[in-house]
Structure 1
Amino acid sequence: MEQYKVVVWGLGNVGRAAVRMIQSKKSLQLVGAVDNDPEKIGKDSGAIFDFPNTGVIVEGDIDEVLKRDVDVVLDYTPLVRDEKGGFTPSAEDIVKVLNAGKNVVTTLPIYYSQVTTPDLYKMIDDAAKKNHVSYLPTGLLPGAYASYIPTVLAGLMGQVDSITVQSGEDDQHNYSSWVKVFGYGMDPDKFPQDKLKLGIASYYVSGVYEMGARLGMKFDDMKIEHECFTAPEDLHPIFGTVKKGTISGHRFTMSGMINGQKKASLVYVHKICDDVAPEPEIKNNIHIEGIPKSLDIDIEGLMPLDESYVTSAAPSVNVIPQVVEGESGFLQALDLKVVTPIQ
């Protein structure tokens, strides 16, 4: 069995899940691990997560790692929030890896960029083709749950009139620094809700565009809606007490519109303490209308509290053989053979 040489760049929650997967796969070999956290640099990349030792020491310089024999870099580096509130991954860093002749798979939302950020799409596509490697963005959202799975399920329909994907996550045990963007515990009247709405849309909306394009829908507008929810009582997430009446949840709805009608939508909830505060409700449902009249699919366990990032990491790890062996350029998972668990 061929072994693919893998570098994990970014050893946060998703990187943790990926390292564990790679350790369990005979066809994968971890040859590099990179992070900017001084607490991790110099330590074994398995031991930092209390996994068995990998024999690969965490380094702080991606340039040194790229000098090695590497098939693919899994890019899980953090996003940077720009002055408009949007989340901006580093396309320049991605191009650097491609120019080193390495394939890139990432959960970063440079996804379906021929529509959302065509300048970045061309820059990445040109670099990948020039160096005979490929770039593939995939994760859970955007990615497997929006839009890979809904589009495949739409193949059961004789006609698709509209599609709505609902999901969400409970951040009460999430210690990631980016969680602060949701303003949990803040006064809703003082919180910059419009800036958050634009930021979340910049992250997720590409999945809506891809679903529409795959289903032959030509949107004439993209509608972004945001609802803010407050704590019905004092709540106690991992990062401190959230007082009654302060922000405890958000619901974002991103809809591709045609003649004033919602045709493809993603409804996503970010909240804390779902076990105590049921609103807004987190649903993991795909609803398709057309012929037959409707198709409803509920998927449970997408983001469990204990291992919520496994389903983000797994699509990016399982697709490695197809990326390494496939065509060069900016790839989309829906254009590849069906993604199945790697051995």
Structure 2
Amino acid sequence: MLRVVQWATGGVGKAAIEAVRQHPELELAGCYVHSADKAGKDVGEILGIDPLGVVATNEVEDILALDADAVVYAPLVPDPDEVARILRSGKNVVTPVGWFYPSERDTALEQACLDGGVSLHGTGINPGGTTELHPLVLSAMTSAVTYVRSEEFSDMRTYNAPDVLRWVMGFGGTPDEARKSPMLKVLSGGYRQSVRMCLDTLGIADAQIRSSHEIAVATAPIDSPLGVIDAGSVAAQRFSWDAVVGDRVVVRIAVNWLMGEKNLEPAWEFGPGGERYEIEVKGDPDTFVTIHGWQPASVAEGLRRNPGIVATANHCVNSIPYVVAAEPGIRTCLDLPPVAGRAHPDLLAGRAEPSLPTVTGRRDRP
């Protein structure tokens, strides 16, 4: 069994703990929390379930000293120095908050991986799946690729993180506040990496990456997780990253985040497809895929348990055996074999040891 530490217990962190508990190769070994209120509590209490026998800590040194194979690193904002310390302690790191396709500027973290004999892997859903892995996999069915697009259409009323929505993402504020917020810069860190991975892997040369940010305001009060959004306040945002060759867009990644489809100016809508992810590859032949299921069926359902957040956590957790087995260094999805989930525990009943070669073939920790 691989011993896993969960770092931070927000929505993704809690879902990751659930995924670890259901994965036949993994066991929860520790948990880092930022809040003093959570420190010292059994992780089960933090999740609102029965005790798990693992006590959360807000002491970094406790985690660094722990005997563990991997850390699911899921804070709101990544700290490279923090990640380097984890890596040097001999623990692999899987994270949804960065390092999907890092540049040569990440030599310090590459060295930390080598010092600890471990790997760092960024993954998730968007970015980290739909924005580079899935388009590239689908491109295998096409020759002479001319265009790749990945686009998300989501109702943000299902995202139960009011502080993030208001103070990080800028919803409920003025358009000027949203334009001046750090959101575009924060998002660009990951999405530009996704664009570059597509460009490099497809072999598209001399492309320039451009970003854009559009805003819609409420025309009447809108109920949301952060409270009522008043008329004139930000109620929808579109971000896009285009790779352009000459005057032609060759790769586009975009997100459409709306507080519902009513009372918006401009009058944006999801269209007949509803909430979804779209992946498009143009070439010979064209490919067009729509993904449903990663957005909840209702606002109430999303506030209880958002499947997009769960999918993000699952992609991280399911990557752990592959990352542990990889050679030390920063490893992207291009460096790993296809990552798969595992069967429901009920389907493994009666099997003394699951026959999963990614575990038996892993290297030992230093």
Would the TM-score normalized by the shorter structure come out above 0.5? yes
Q: Which residue does 1:323 correspond to in 2?
A: 323
User: Matches of 2:177 and 2:127 in 1, distance apart?
Assistant: 30
Structure 1: segments with no counterpart, 5+ residues: 80-88
2:131 equivalent in structure 1 = 146
Match of 1:269 among 241, 256, 280: 256
The amino acid that maps onto 1:44 is D
1:205 maps to what in 2?
192
Q: Paired residue for 2:148, among 127, 143, 163? A: 163
CA contact (8 A) 1:137 1:332 kept: yes
Deviation at 1:260, TM superposition (A): 2.1
Aligned counterpart, 2:79: 90
Match in the other structure for 1:309: 309
1:77 CA drift (Å): 1.6
Question: 109, 128, 131: which is aligned to 2:116?
Answer: 131
Give the match's secondary structure for 1:236: strand
- The structure 1 residue matched to 2:57, chosen from 52, 56, 59, is 59
Which residue of 279, 286, 299 corresponds with 2:268?
Answer: 279
Counterpart pick for 2:292 among 300, 303, 309? 300
**1:274 CA displacement:** 4.3
| Alignment check: 8 A CA contact 2:170 2:177 kept | no
1:84 aligned residue:
none
CA distance in 1, matches of 2:178, 2:152: 24
SS at match of 2:140: helix
Match of 2:283 in 1: 290
Q: Give a deviation string over 1:1-60, Cα, whole Å, max 9, x none.
A: xx1000001111100101111112232110100111122111111221123321101110
2:335 aligned partner? 335
Structure 1 stretch displaced more, 99-108 or 300-309: 300-309
Is the counterpart of residue 230 in structure 1 residue 222 in structure 2? Answer: no
- The one-letter amino acid of 2:334's match is L
- The SS at the match of 2:84 is helix
Q: What is the CA deviation profile of residues 306-333 of structure 1, one whole-angstrom value per residue up to 9, with x for unaligned ones?
A: 3231111011100111111121101012
The answer for the alignment partner of 2:97 in structure 1 is: 108
Asked whether 1:239 is paired with 2:237, we answer no
Specify the code of the residue in structure 1 equivalent to 2:330: F
Structure 2's unaligned 5+ residue stretches are: 297-301, 344-366
Q: TM-score, normalised by structure 1?
A: 0.89
How far apart are residue 129 of structure 1 and its match?
Answer: 1.7
Aligned length: 327
Percent sequence identity is: 24
Asked if 2 retains the 8 angstrom alpha-carbon contact of 1:32 and 1:65, the reply is yes
Counterpart position of 2:346: none
Give CA-to-partner distance per residue, 1:62-92, whole Å, 9 cap, x none. 221221211001101221xxxxxxxxx2111
* 8 Å CA contact retained: 2:130, 2:279: no
**Residue type of the alignment partner of 1:163:** V
